[in-house]
A and B are shown apart, each in its own frame.
Chain A
Amino acid sequence: MHTFFQQTLNGLSLGSIYALLALGYTMVYGIIKLINFAHGDVYMLGAFWGYYVINTYHVNFLVALVSAMVVTALAGMLIEYLAYRPLRNSPRITALITAIGVSYFLENGMSFLFGANTRNFPQAITQHNYDVFGITVSNIQILILVTSLVLMVLLQLIIQKTKMGTAMRAVAVDPEAAALVGINPDHVISFTFGLGSALAGAGGVLIGLYYNSIDPLMGMTPGIKAFVAAVVGGIGSIPGAAIGGFLIGLLETATQAVGLSAYKDAAVYVVLIVILVLLPTGLLGKNVKEKV
């Protein structure tokens, strides 16, 4: 029982980071039906920005987090502008392949500019472990969970209550009608990339604190796992992405806990296959009928 609660806590901490990433995947997919495979690399950029400002300017965690979110939001919008916007009317597969290209560009570009070595992420917050009913809880875990939940609530408020958020939902459900009421799709798409990338950037800083090490390829595996999380939750569904993220985090920790550490990635991909076969629209995805 003891191990169970301990692993659940660990799984939720990791899962909240996957959830932050999965939200970006699902929002972008909801708007332009693109799986942005460069999304994991935006998370890497966020981690590197955090590393840079904490080491160079000795800023505190909050400043590192917020500035990383701003920087990655801008990076995401720039990527959309340069790489995806010119392909707006191209077949979807073209944009998908471009996304893979952007991903390689960011990974290798960062390796080329700053070196491919793994770095120790500076500890902006000293880790303390607390013993709660026999479970080890670190302040970093609590910080990750609280920060992720706060960001998810903020995202929900933006999407449900603001004009831009409502426009996002309008474009996602009916792009043609959205154009007819005067919504400029480019603005909404850009905003969506900014929002999703900011969450990825936050995830990057949080994972740096949690795992203590970063490198230019760190976005690859979490990026794919977050994509799986978004598919499990139902791609295009925002609550689905959050739930999927937590589920994948829990699954991964559970696989490790039962002694199958070597198979933790495989377990995630098995879930992807099972979901695609049994429940192709995911847990909360809508069964969209193609209109004639």
Chain B
Amino acid sequence: MLEVKDLRVNYGAIQAVQGVDFTVNDGEIVALIGANGAGKSTILKTISGLLRPKSGTITYEGTRLDKLSAAKIVAAGIAQVPEGRHVFAGLTVMENLKMGAYSAPKTQAAQLTAVFEQFPVLQERRHQDAATLSGGEQQMLAMGRALMAKPKLMLLDEPSMGLAPLFINKIFAIIKAINATGTTVLLIEQNATQALQIADRGYVVANGKVRLSGTGAELLANPAVQSAYLGG
């Protein structure tokens, strides 16, 4: 579904991504794990069109993404939940969700029902300013907003960051549920254990390169991964 080949991206003067290859197959949950500053977010931002690659290709269902605008990439069926949630402050929860369907107005009503089913708290708070939500609720809103675009591929950048442990479990359960409805997921996490537990496959990124890859279970069992990323 998504194929990244020899991707190189500069972030200012820094070579943040130095030749990365990976694939995401239809229906999978794929996790990119690695330390802060490894280049994971840069990869995600390049896929969604916020950054341009220096070289390499990103192909999604046969289409080159690396030349398309962010708006066209969303329209092609890829929605990103950004790191730090980035809900629209000053807009109500409902307005945030409607903006999520900006490029998919035809399915807006159906998706809204689905999002409210998945996140009942958003329905309760639909008239509230998004900035007044708690961190966990903002994460749910950011995910709901991405779902409003009816994406085939959902990119999640550090969804568990800064959340209470109880909320973290909830967020990972929701990611699994979203995947079960047929949405492919590419997930970036520093919380490697939980990410690999729900992931079909994972890639370990360090210093702008993929160092290891395997199924979620393989990586969890790998001693090198354990010592470096799983606190074991």
- List A residues at the B interface (Cβ < 8 Å): 163, 166-167, 169-170, 173-174, 176-184
Is B149 interfacial (CB-CB < 8 Å)? yes
Contact check: which of A167, A176, A184 meets B99 at CB < 8 Å? A167
**Are A163 and B82 CB-contacts (below 8 A) given A180-B48, A180-B50?**
no
Given A173-B90, A173-B91, A180-B86, 20 more pairs with CB closer than 8 A: A166-B91, A166-B98, A166-B99, A167-B99, A169-B95, A174-B88, A176-B50, A176-B82, A177-B86, A178-B88, A180-B74, A181-B79, A182-B70, A182-B74, A182-B102, A182-B104, A183-B99, A183-B102, A184-B69, A184-B71
Main secondary structure on B side of the interface with A: loop
Is B103 interfacial (CB-CB < 8 Å)? yes
Residues of B within 8 A of A178 (CB): 88, 99
Is B40 interfacial (CB-CB < 8 Å)? no
What 9 A-B pairs have minimum CB-CB distances, sorted nearest first?
A182-B74, A182-B103, A177-B86, A179-B70, A184-B71, A182-B102, A170-B88, A182-B71, A180-B80
Residues of B within 8 A of A181 (CB): 74, 79, 99-100, 102-103, 145-146, 148-149
Residues of B within 8 A of A173 (CB): 88-91
Least CB distance from A273 to B in Å reads: 30
Q: Do A179 and B50 touch (CB < 8 A)?
A: yes
Size bracket of the B interface: 20 to 34
Q: Do A179 and B99 touch (CB < 8 A)?
A: no
Residues of B within 8 A of A182 (CB): 70-71, 74-75, 102-104, 149
Least CB distance from A173 to B in Å reads: 5
Least CB distance from B160 to A in Å reads: 19
**Nearest CB to that of B97 among chain A residues?**
A181
Is B49 interfacial (CB-CB < 8 Å)? yes
Q: CA separation between A170 and B50, bound complex, in Å?
A: 16
Q: Which of B183-228 contact A (CB under 8 A)?
A: none
Is B115 interfacial (CB-CB < 8 Å)? no
**Nearest CB to that of A286 among chain B residues?**
B90
Q: Do B86 and A174 touch (CB < 8 A)?
A: yes
Residues of A within 8 A of B148 (CB): 181
Least CB distance from A101 to B in Å reads: 28
Q: Do B89 and A180 touch (CB < 8 A)?
A: no
Q: CA separation between A183 and B69, bound complex, in Å?
A: 10
Least CB distance from B185 to A in Å reads: 16
**Nearest CB to that of A184 among chain B residues?**
B71
Q: Do B88 and A180 touch (CB < 8 A)?
A: no
Is B87 interfacial (CB-CB < 8 Å)? yes
Q: Do B91 and A170 touch (CB < 8 A)?
A: yes
Residues of A within 8 A of B89 (CB): 173-174
